[in-house]
């Protein structure tokens, strides 16, 4: 099925707007990685994944396991924009009693949030286990797992990379959002993961490297699931932390910093508005 590039690009912009507004409203959060992965979420939920908000528990659904849980604002936005959540719920990010905590919690939204995550690396084996259960039970869905590049420092990731290849988990795609930034600076300065594609190939994965902001490239990479059915797939998506908001781009500071009111306004202006998508209503916090 051919994707609609403009629609997906608009979806990505909408995710960015939501991310800024949600985090600004919450008063804290992780905007940088979420902005950088907007095209990935837009293509996954808008095109690549077979899923139905009307039947979220369909055992044959495609699933996203978000392993770098801190970028969940983008996931929540994608879920709301595709009908899994009421839009106004986005305004509850990180609040007491919300179903949208600062790192995703599966039990608050079963079958919508596939996995609780936050401690890095842990989602990779979970995604693999879901994929292996699909093979065991005859479910046809494809499993995607999104990780950050700094997350590749975690040993559990490499344990799982080994066993996914060993067990021929071909219904699994690992997406690495590679922006070369982590909290303390550049990944290449702190503990370089290069040459990542070579490493993954050496681990017997089918590797594709793309510009993670190019809708066509992302769409092609994430729908190429039937080639090499016995081999797990890795997509290295080169991304820019803070993408779409010039003053946030490529600055590690925006990993986990909340924009001020002025910064949020500037950010929204930079992203631009698209009339096709109405912004979600932000509820005022109740006065104490």
Partner 1 sequence: MIFRDSAPIRDGFGRALVEVATRRREVVALTADVSEPTRVHWFAEEFPNRFYQMGISENDMIGTAAGMALNGLIPFATTFAVFAASLAHQAIRLSVAYNEANVKIVCSHGGITVGGDGATHQAFEDLALMRLIPGMTVVCPCDANEAYDATIAIADYEGPVYMRVGRIASPIIDQGRSSFELGKARIVRTGDDVALLANGIMLVYALEAAELLEQEGVQARVINLHTLKPLDEDAVLSAARECAALVTVEEHSVLGGLRGAVAELLSARHPTPIEGVGVNDTFGEAGEPEEMLAKYGLTVNQILAAARRAVSRGGVVTEV
Applying CB under 8 A, the residues found at the interface with partner 1 are 59, 65, 105-107, 114-119, 122-134, 136-137, 139, 155-156, 159-160, 162-163, 166-167
The CB-of-202 to partner 1 minimum distance in angstroms stands at 17
Q: Which is nearer to partner 1, 134 or 239 (CB)?
A: 134
Q: Would you state the structure tokens that stand for residue 54, as one six-digit string?
A: 């009307």
**Closer of 19 and 161 to partner 1 (Cβ):** 161
> CA nearest 221: which of 177, 182, 180, 181?
177
Backbone angles phi, psi at 285, to 5 degrees: -65, 140
Minimum distance of partner 1 from residue 119's CB (angstroms): 6
| Residue number with CB closer to partner 1 (64 or 217) | 64
- Minimal distance in Å, beta carbon 126 to partner 1? 4
Alpha carbon dihedral 267, 270, 255, 276, in 10-degree steps, equals 90
CB-side neighbour CA atoms (13 Å) of 13: 18
- Shortest Å, Cβ 56 to partner 1: 14
Q: Of the two residues 133 and 276, which places its CB atom closer to partner 1 in the complex? A: 133
- Between CA 169 and CA 207 the distance in angstroms is 14
| Residue 5 or 106 having the CB closest to partner 1 | 106
CA–CA–CA angle 36, 81, 175 (5° rounding)? 35
Task: Find the shortest distance in angstroms from Cβ 151 to partner 1.
Answer: 13
Structure tokens at 10: 């608009």
């Amino acid at each position: 099925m051919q994707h609609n590039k403009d629609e997906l690009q608009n979806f990505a912009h909408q995710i960015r707007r939501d991310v800024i507004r949600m985090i600004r409203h919450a008063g804290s959060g992780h905007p940088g990685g979420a902005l950088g992965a907007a095209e990935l979420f837009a293509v996954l939920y808008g095109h690549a994944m077979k899923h139905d908000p009307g039947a979220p528990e369909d055992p044959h659904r495609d699933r996203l396991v978000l392993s770098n849980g801190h970028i969940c604002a983008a996931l929540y936005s994608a879920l709301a924009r595709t009908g899994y959540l009421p839009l106004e719920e986005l305004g509850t990010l990180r609040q007491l009693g919300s179903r949208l905590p600062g790192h995703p919690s599966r039990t608050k939204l079963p079958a919508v949030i596939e996995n609780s995550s936050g401690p890095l690396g842990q989602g990779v084996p979970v995604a693999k286990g879901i994929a292996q259960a699909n093979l065991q039970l005859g479910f046809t869905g494809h499993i995607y797992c999104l990780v950050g590049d700094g997350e590749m420092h975690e040993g559990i990731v490499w344990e799982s990379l080994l066993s996914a290849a060993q067990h021929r988990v071909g219904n699994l795609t690992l997406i690495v959002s590679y922006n070369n930034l982590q909290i303390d600076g550049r990944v290449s300065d702190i503990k370089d993961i290069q040459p990542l594609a070579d490493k993954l190939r050496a681990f017997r994965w089918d590797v594709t490297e793309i510009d993670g902001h190019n809708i066509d490239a992302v769409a092609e990479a994430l729908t190429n699931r039937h080639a090499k059915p016995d081999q797990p797939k890795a997509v290295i998506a080169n991304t820019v932390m803070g993408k779409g908001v010039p003053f946030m781009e490529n600055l590690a500071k925006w990993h986990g910093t909340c924009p001020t009111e002025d910064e949020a306004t500037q950010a929204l202006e930079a992203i631009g508005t698209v009339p096709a998508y109405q912004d979600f209503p932000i509820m005022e916090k109740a006065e104490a």
